[in-house]
Amino acid sequence: MFFQWPGYLWLMLAVPLLVAAYAWLLLRRGKQALRFSSLHLVRAASKGRNWRRHVPPVLLLLACSALLLAAARPVAPLPLPWARSTIILAMDVSLSMRVNDVKPTRMAAAQEAAKLFLADLPRNIEVGLVTFAGSSQVAQAATLDRAPLVAAIDGFQMQRGTAIGNAIALSVAELFPDDGINVADMTFGGKPRGRSLDDRAKPAPKQITPVAPGSYPSAAIILLTDGRRTTGIDTLEAAKLAADRGVRIYVVGLGSADGGSYAAEGMAMYLQLDEPTLREVARMTGGDYHHAGTAEKLRSVYETMGSQMQLAKRETELAPLLALTAALLALGAGVLSALWFGRIG
Tell me if 161 sits within 8 A of 94, measured CB to CB: yes
Q: What is the pLDDT of residue 192?
A: 46
Own/partner long-range contacts of 143-149 (Cβ < 8 Å, ≥24 apart)? 146/118, 146/119, 149/118
Q: Is 66 helix (H, G, I), strand (E, B) or coil?
A: helix
Q: How far apart are CA 49 and CA 47, in angstroms?
A: 6
Q: How far apart are CA 241 and CA 247, in angstroms?
A: 9
pLDDT, tens only, 40-81: 545 555 555 577 778 888 898 999 999 999 999 998 876 655
Give how far the C-alpha of residue 247 lies from the chain's centroid of Cα atoms, to the nearest Å: 9
DSSP output for 232-254: SS-HHHHHHHHHHTT-EEEEEEE
Amino acid at 144: L
Q: Which helix (H) or strand (E) holds 28?
A: helix 14-33
Higher pLDDT, 204 or 294: 294
Q: How many CB atoms lie within 10 A of CB 10?
A: 11
Q: What is the pLDDT of residue 293?
A: 84
Between 288-292, 298-302, 318-322, 338-342, the lowest mean confidence (pLDDT) is in: 338-342
Amino acid at 328: L
Q: What is the pLDDT of residue 53?
A: 78
Higher pLDDT, 343 or 210: 210
Question: The whole model's pTM is what?
Answer: 0.68
Domain positions in the chain: 2-78+317-341, 85-312
Phi/psi of residue 290, each to 5°? -130, 135
Q: In the predicted model, is pLDDT for residue 315 greater than 80?
A: no
pLDDT, tens only, 252-302: 999 776 655 555 554 555 567 889 999 999 999 999 999 998 888 898 888
Query: Which residues contact residue 236 at a Cβ distance below 8 angstroms, ignoring those fewer than 6 apart?
Result: 165, 277, 280, 281, 284
Class (C level, CATH) for 85-312: alpha beta
pLDDT, tens only, 131-150: 999 999 999 999 999 999 99
Average per-residue pLDDT for the chain = 83
Phi/psi of residue 22, each to 5°? -65, -40
